[in-house]
Amino acid sequence: MIRQMIVRQTLPANEDGHAGGIALRDVMSALSTILVKAGIVSPQKEARLLVQEIAGLAPAQVIGSADLIMDRASVDVLMKAARRRACGEPLYRIVGHRGFYGVELVLSRHTLEPRPDTETLVDAVLPHLLRMVSQKGDVRLLDLGTGTGAVALALLKECPQASAVATDISPAALEMAAENARRNGLQRRFSPLESNWFDKVEGQFDLVVSNPPYIASADIDDLADEVRLFDPIVALDGGPDGLMAYRALAAGARDHLLKTGLMAVEIGFAQGAMVRDIFQGSGMIHSASHNDLTGHERVLVFRSRQTGCR
């Protein structure tokens, strides 16, 4: 992130009165124009975010300092960022990080960008995690296909008595997840593991979570450019029917869950019945469903046997 790029009006002015720079109001106007022409839904909001994140300005400065002068090199950086956004690159990939459930995550091309709907997965399991802590004192969780580490790190932050093993098949993704753990002060309770789902996982856990790839292979080309062109395909492609990962997860779940353990998975649109059938066919019991911000079924929770926990 570029910081300290602001030049104050106290510098000697040149012939146009701008001391070699450009007023923030004009920069905002230029950025918004680029984004409007590209059809960005909230161009002014995104222009403000670009200035905040790239120039290191507080929101109040962006809103209340229209006369602030920015040096031309800084403006060039912002204009390039706006053009990248106009070409479809996601905003948070341009700034290099985004927040998720109270943790700040650095992004890379090797990881899926975590989105608000996935916070439903954290909401769904957090009460169970806290209940388990109250009963046992500490808990172990497993995050399969961790990517940036978003889900595991959010749960660890909310529950200091928990520790996590986080798997991914991508060493680069695991490196990024470990960096995110360090940035959020959670590295001592976060253990990255290179594994294809359960293949290298040992032991049993109180809680298993996963946001696996669930887009059918034939549907990848129909995804929005922001997803199709910038998220790694391996984190999107769920095989011919979109359900390949759930079969692998269901096959290993019972062997890696404690008697009172729970498993929760994020699902795609209208996949609920099919995913329930897969897990129930492997001896799991459907415990609960949770809807996302748009009211669609997004998370399914399973238990391994009759334990009385809901």
Question: Which pLDDT score is estimated for 9?
Answer: 31
Residues 6+ apart with CB under 8 A from 267: 214, 246, 275, 297, 298, 299, 300
Mean pLDDT of 28-54: 94
In which band, very low, low, confident or very high, does the pLDDT at 5 lie, cut at 50, 70 and 90? very low
Q: How far is CA 109 from CA 76, 106, 183, 232, 250, in A?
A: 24, 11, 19, 7, 28
Q: Go through the domains of the chain in sequence order and give each one's CATH number.
A: 6-95 (1.10.8.10), 98-303 (3.40.50.150)
Q: How far is Cα 106 from Cα 121, in angstroms, rounded to an integer?
A: 20
For the whole model, what pTM was predicted? 0.88
Q: For the segment 144-161, what is each residue's pLDDT rounded down to a tens digit? A: 999 999 999 999 999 999
In which band, very low, low, confident or very high, does the pLDDT at 13 lie, cut at 50, 70 and 90? very low
Token pair for residue 179? 């960096």
Angle formed at CA 114 by CA 260 and CA 281, multiple of 5 degrees: 40
Nearest Cα residue to 239 out of 215, 255, 256: 215
Q: For the segment 127-143, what is each residue's pLDDT rounded down to a tens digit? A: 999 999 999 999 999 99
Question: Which pLDDT score is estimated for 305?
Answer: 67
Q: For the segment 166-188, what is each residue's pLDDT rounded down to a tens digit? A: 999 999 999 999 999 999 999 99
Mean pLDDT of 59-66: 83
Q: For the segment 211-266, what is each residue's pLDDT rounded down to a tens digit? A: 999 999 999 999 999 999 999 999 999 999 999 999 999 999 989 999 999 999 99
Query: In whole numbers, what is the pLDDT of the chain averaged over residues?
Result: 90
